[in-house]
Amino acid sequence: MSNPFLKQVFNKDKTFRPKRKFQPGTQRFELHKKAQASLNAGLDLKLAVQLPPGEELSDWVAVHVVDFFNRINLIYGTIGDECTEQSCPVMSGGPKYEYRWQDEHQFRKPTALSAPRYMDLLMDWIEVQINNEELFPSHVGTPFPRNFLQVVKKILSRLFRVFVHVYIHHFDRIAQMGSEAHVNTCYKHFYYFVKEFGLIDTKELEPLVSRAGPHRE
């Protein structure tokens, strides 16, 4: 599902975290190839995100979550050297939106952090989730847990915050690289996917809905 244009624009060496790949021969690998083929063929993004006939929703969602994690890592990695403790002391999306970090270990209460610190904790946390065989089983026939979609919603809502921060605070850098159109495409793909399956509350999407770049609805 990786957009060939993104590969041309972004240096793979700057990927924020190593990619998780699907094992050849597994059902999820075949779904990954099917989704990638739809994107590469230029299929309308609203159609490309729809669940293929005969496929399980959890499998389709799992494939996309891992792919979005990889691609958003790549996007953030390209502006990471400009997102510092000094430039971004608060993880935010402009003056109206501040995102605080909370987890089950170090930060049990929502805590204000710098953007790079927040991103570091976020990517570590997501990486643990998607590599947890009990949450994201890699073997065909292994059932997903009952709380799978609940975990997915949390992952995707937090990944969306990366888009918000990049668009509002670092879009000049994206534009300078000539990659605005490709980041917009990635965002639209993400947006249509979460809307198709109701994976992020509409209210949470508000920071970017009014932006002419990524999306108007």
Going by the annotation, the residues of the binding site for Zn(2+) are 83, 88, 165, 170
- The answer to whether residues 52 and 147 touch, using CB atoms and an 8 Å cutoff, is no
The span from the CA of 105 to the CA of 69, in Å, is 22
Binding site per annotation, positions: 83, 88, 165, 170
Q: How far is residue 141 from each of residues 28, 56, 99, 132, measured CA to CA in Å?
A: 11, 11, 37, 16
The span from the CA of 195 to the CA of 136, in Å, is 21
Q: Which residue has the tokens 């060939």?
A: 4
The count of residues in the chain is 217
Q: How far is residue 70 from each of residues 30, 33, 103, measured CA to CA in Å?
A: 18, 15, 21
At residue 57's C-alpha, the angle toward residues 145 and 182, to 5°, is: 115
The 3 state secondary structure assigned to 117-146 is: HHHHHHHHHHHHHHCCCCCCCCCCCCCCCC
Alpha-helical regions (H) of 55-179: 57-79, 115-130, 148-176
105 CB-contact burial (10 Å; exposed 0-12 / middle 13-18 / buried 19+):
exposed
